[in-house]
Amino acid sequence: MITVLVTGGMGFIGSNFIRFVLNLNQEYDIINIDKLTYAGNPENLKDIAEKYPNNYKFYKIDICDFEPVDEIINKNNINYIVNFAAESHVDRSINNPSLFCDTNISGTINLLNSAKKNKVKKYLQISTDEVYGSLNFNDAPFDENHQLAPNSPYSASKASADLLVRAYYKSFNLPVNITRCSNNYGPYQFPEKLIPLMINNALNNRKLPVYGKGINVRDWIHVKDHCKAILMVLLEGEIGEIYNIGGDSEVANIDLVKDLLKILNKPESLITFVKDRPGHDLRYAINHEKITKDLSWKPKIKLDNGLKMTVKWYLDNKVWLTNIMTKEYLTYYETQYKNR
């Protein structure tokens, strides 16, 4: 058996990864630790816990607490660590940078120290294309050698974590990989993110807030394609290497929102332009030639089909969406957008 510790596994990408791995191969045991913040939802894996009781365990643990983290890694003879645990919303990082430093930097140090102490086979850091900063419209996409130039407290905290992972590889020979992915979308994504936010608002005939003029461009990847890439890097990635994971689907935010409205058969009059986000990066684009060449991975789900699949999932899971729209989130949402 291969035993994998997944941190932040109740979140969007983490829960999709656990689901993907266990449905793919039951020779894996997965230990999931999550602090269960507002974005960590046990409902994301309720069916998995019931389906694989012998292959899946969950512990409510904060990665900032070293002793319980280290105990879990030690007593379960963890082979691999995949670190998804992170505060990840840019707007929230602007409001509270310290929280992002605590989880994304200090939490990562704890995981690295325990991985080193317990001699894990590999530590995989799940990062983001945002560590590279912003591109102009005519710039070449980010490759793995692009300089780090983060522009928000969130991306700065993730870049800091990446550098720590690299340092543990160089200083302590800790076997590591880092993956940097473009914008994910798909099932179980918390509705503060762009795509589920637009879907949920449109379903409820609420205004769809679009920053600035909506010209900012993002590269989108379906979470299932991302999960496949993560598993390839975990099992086959060359130690010490960084791998960019892109979706080959660049689109301006305003065009993406219009596409979603078309799928939902809702009017474009729901769109409202709001004051731009501070330090809003103009464009992200990922060059994934390295992982394609080295590991034979490339994205399979085209954006138009992926959006239709995602909309259908939210339509089929309205109870999940309603349950996650907590008072805490609604209060935050109103505070963020009512004056913009």
Catalytic residues: 129-130, 154
Beta bridge partners of 272: 209
Q: Which two tokens stand for residue 290?
A: 């390295």
Nearest-CA neighbor of 132 among 109, 108, 153, 156? 156
Nearest CA to 88 among 173, 21, 142, 7? 7
